[in-house]
């Protein structure tokens, strides 16, 4: 428990920012799907049945907000959840709301600014 409210401010801002990013059905569905690890845009489109233009828009928004990271390999783009905190929050939401636990064998890449 953090007793000093000055220390809570930045943490609360980060948490509410992440929650805002996830406050759209398509974005939450994308993030829940990525709990299992890296996926290409084509795989996400096939698995989620989100039309490609809308999927691209939501992926871009999640990337801009730091929730996802992208990796290009030739003509394909692959996405992953950005860090352990984003993964933990998505996992908690998906577990509670969808009743699905994440695969504990999946490792989430660490980012330079990620705090555990």
Provide mean pLDDT across the span 63-73: 94
Between 116 and 44, the more confident residue is 44
Q: What are the strands of the beta sheet with 39-40, ordered from one edge? A: 39-40, 76-81, 68-73
Residue 109 scores a pLDDT above 70:
no
How does DSSP classify residue 80? E
Quick one: pLDDT at residue 110? 38
Residue 69 lies in a domain: yes
How many distinct structural domains can be found in the chain?
1
First to last CA, the chain: 15
Show the domain range for 27: 10-98
pLDDT digits (tens, 9 = 90+) for 22-33: 899 999 999 999
Quick one: pLDDT at residue 76? 94
CATH number, domain of 89, equals 1.10.10.10
Residue 82 lies in a domain: yes
Q: pTM, whole model, 2 decimals?
A: 0.77
Packed helices 25-33 and 5-22: angle between N→C axes, nearest 10 degrees: 100
Using pLDDT thresholds of 50, 70 and 90, give the confidence band for residue 86: confident
Residue 2 scores a pLDDT above 70:
no
Using pLDDT thresholds of 50, 70 and 90, give the confidence band for residue 116: very low
């Amino acid at each position: 428990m953090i007793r000093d409210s000055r220390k809570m401010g930045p943490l609360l801002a980060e948490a509410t920012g992440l929650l805002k990013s996830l406050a759209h059905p398509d974005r939450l569905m994308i993030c829940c799907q990525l709990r299992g690890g890296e996926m290409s845009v084509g795989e996400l489109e096939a698995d989620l049945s989100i039309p490609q233009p809308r999927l691209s828009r939501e992926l871009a928004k999640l990337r801009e907000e730091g929730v996802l990271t992208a990796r290009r390999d030739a003509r394909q783009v692959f996405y992953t959840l950005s860090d352990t905190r984003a993964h933990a929050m998505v996992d908690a939401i998906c577990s509670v709301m969808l009743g699905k636990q994440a695969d504990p064998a999946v490792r989430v890449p660490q980012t330079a600014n990620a705090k555990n």
